[in-house]
Amino acid sequence: MRIFKFGGASVKDADGVRNVVRVLQEVGFEDTLVVISAMGKTTNAMESLVAAYFEDKRRISIVLEEIKDYHQSIISELFEDEKNPIYEKVQLLFEEVKGFLTWNKSPKYAFVYDQVVGYGELISTSIVSAYLNQEGLTNTWHDVRELIKTDNSYRDAHVNWERTENEVKSRVDMSKLNITQGFLGSDDNNFTTTLGREGSDYTAAILAYCLNANSVTIWKDVPGVLNADPRNFEETQLLDEISYREAIELAFYGASVIHPKTLQPLQRKEIPLHVKSFVNPSGNGTKVSTGKGISPVIPCFIVKKNQVLLKLSTLDFSFIVEDNISEIFKLFHDHRLKVDLIQNSAISFSVCLDNKFGGLQTILEELEQKFKVICHEDVSLYTIRHFNDAAVKSLQNGKSVLVEQRGRETVQLVVK
């Protein structure tokens, strides 16, 4: 059994869906489970729908209609017969979204988010599955919420591995072509949960672990894992092969090509991960495996934008010690602020944070009661693995460096 994952960019339009067929025909599709993300920027659009629900309900119908029109244009281009069941199935899925937003009584943003946003994946996989069947690639469509069971930590759910493994093994026929969604799971009450933004790679790894898969392949619009994101850096180079450890380090620091949670379950069972191009399926791509000592010999650049840098110092110039730090980190945990860098001295403490859940303003009010707080918003955190002086200087030029931290293999810069 092989696990393939196609992201939103690979199915952003009708040509993208046709290309998925081409890739599967070229590399084979027997004994394969395909994980597919929402189409194009649909997740962003679904997030706008959730925002409309909480901020201006008059916009719900407008946003929903835009999302519907986008998918209908893809369907009409792929399926000439308007009596094809896919038209009705997608219509019913949109009616479910509308129905939920009508009868829901929960005021909790994270809960509503998970119940709504996941429909992007349900719709995309329904379309792709129907098109594959039309083109002769007979497949079984699975609702991944029946496969991956989690707790109720909405927007960042934790997998119940024992239940998930039992469900996956009992429901997936490993001898066939299977299609399912990334990003989603369900809790004990069968409410939809999500595994964290960009969590479809993690889904592929979960399913691979449960099925003892031979390999996982992530199909991207780049030739493999590069030493930097070509959207932010010039003259990038392909990394032919790297170890699990190196890939985990890159993912931890924010390399977007592999989701941070993806590697651990694969490493536990030594399942190799391939990152390949859906534009050039025959290309070698990058292999991530258990090989020792496989690490890049060139600097690898990672940037995380829209970060927050907090600089804290005590009001009475006393030391910041364990009790202060534990209190600060409890606040970060309670408000779901992800820590990306820490630097401290006797009377000051600096931390670079990801404010993706919007808890910053609340935590600032609490911190200012006990500390002098300097807050820099919209900063960028640059990380260089296997750095050299030239690599560091290339990032320092023309930028205001607020924090610099060096280790044996890694340097990090917070810049404005």
Can you give the pTM of this predicted structure? Answer: 0.83
With a cut of 80, say whether residue 323 has pLDDT above it.
no
CA 161, distance to chain mean position in Å, is: 19
Domain-located, residue 258: no
Q: What's residue 185's pLDDT?
A: 98
Domain-located, residue 224: no
| Distance in angstroms (rounded) separating the CA atoms of residues 196 and 193 | 9
pLDDT of 211-235, one tens digit each? 999 999 999 988 998 888 888 888 8
**Domain interval for residue 36:** 2-213
| Residues in CB range of 41: below 8 A, 6 or more apart | 8, 12
With a cut of 80, say whether residue 170 has pLDDT above it.
yes
| Distance in angstroms (rounded) separating the CA atoms of residues 55 and 33 | 39
Considering the domain architecture, whether residues 208 and 304 belong to the same structural domain is answered as no
pLDDT range class, residue 197, cuts 50, 70, 90: confident
Considering the domain architecture, whether residues 309 and 192 belong to the same structural domain is answered as no
* Amino acid occupying residue 135: E
Q: Is 231 annotated as a binding residue?
A: yes
Q: Is residue 175 exposed (0-12), middle (13-18) or buried (19+ Cβ within 10 Å)? A: exposed
pLDDT of 233-256, one tens digit each? 888 889 999 988 888 888 888 777
The enclosing domain of 315 has a CATH number of 3.30.2130.10
pLDDT of 259-303, one tens digit each? 768 888 999 999 999 999 999 999 999 999 887 656 667 899 999
With a cut of 70, say whether residue 346 has pLDDT above it.
yes
Point out the domain boundary residue: 183, 213, 243.
213
Among the residue ranges 6-10, 296-300, 389-393, the one predicted with the least confidence is: 296-300
Domain-located, residue 225: no
Considering the domain architecture, whether residues 138 and 25 belong to the same structural domain is answered as yes
Nearest Cα neighbor of 34 from 5, 63, 7 is 5
Q: Which two tokens stand for residue 8?
A: 């939103």
* Amino acid occupying residue 373: V
Considering the domain architecture, whether residues 14 and 132 belong to the same structural domain is answered as yes
Q: Is residue 217 exposed (0-12), middle (13-18) or buried (19+ Cβ within 10 Å)? A: buried
Point out the domain boundary residue: 213, 248, 279.
213
User: What residue has token string 């907090």?
Assistant: 310
pLDDT of 21-37, one tens digit each? 999 999 999 999 999 99
The per-residue b/e assignment along 237-253, b for 16 or more CB within 10 angstroms, e otherwise, is: eebebbbbbbbbbbbeb
pLDDT of 59-95, one tens digit each? 999 999 999 999 999 999 999 998 999 999 999 999 9
Point out the domain boundary residue: 144, 178, 213.
213
Domain-located, residue 275: no
Q: What's residue 402's pLDDT?
A: 92
Domain count, the chain: 2
The enclosing domain of 53 has a CATH number of 3.40.1160.10
